Amino acid sequence: MKWFLIFWAGPIVLLGTWYGLSYYDMNFGFFMLTRQTHDLVFQIYGKILGLPPEILPGLVARAVVVDSLVLFAIIAFRRRRQIAAWWRERSGNGAQALPSDDSLSSAP
């Protein structure tokens, strides 16, 4: 599971770092981090997809959010027993006894 998360977070961090640095033109002498490269990459992707380059960052961000939600849903499903045990422990000691029907029907 650790490697699964590493292989998920690695590309997201790499893409986010590149986007942030190139958007603000903090290139540190690297051509790939210049604003010109940033604009060129989105122009190329825009032409390939037939979309205006201005909307692509928003689409990528939405895709990252949706993919992350799907990934965390899969992880939560796989660890549902551990999550349920943690929740029970957090909310009190084990399952709380519910009042019986007899105690509810008898009025003082």
Reported as a single tens digit per residue, the pLDDT across 65-89 is: 999 999 999 999 999 999 999 999 9
pLDDT at 16 over 60: yes
- Is residue 30 included in any domain, yes or no? yes
Number of independent structural domains in the chain = 1
What percent of the chain stands above pLDDT 70?
A: 85
Domain presence at residue 15 = yes
Asked whether residue 107 carries a pLDDT value surpassing 80, the answer given is: no
Q: What is the pLDDT of residue 96?
A: 54
Averaged pLDDT for residues 35-58: 96
Residue 97 lies in a domain: no
Q: Which domain holds residue 35?
A: 2-92
Per the domain annotation, does 106 fall within a domain?
no
Residue with tokens 């122009």: 43
Q: Does residue 17 form part of some domain?
A: yes
37 Cα distance to chain centroid: 27
> HEC states along 34-68?
CHHHHHHHHHHHHHHHCCCHHHHHHHHHHHHHHHH
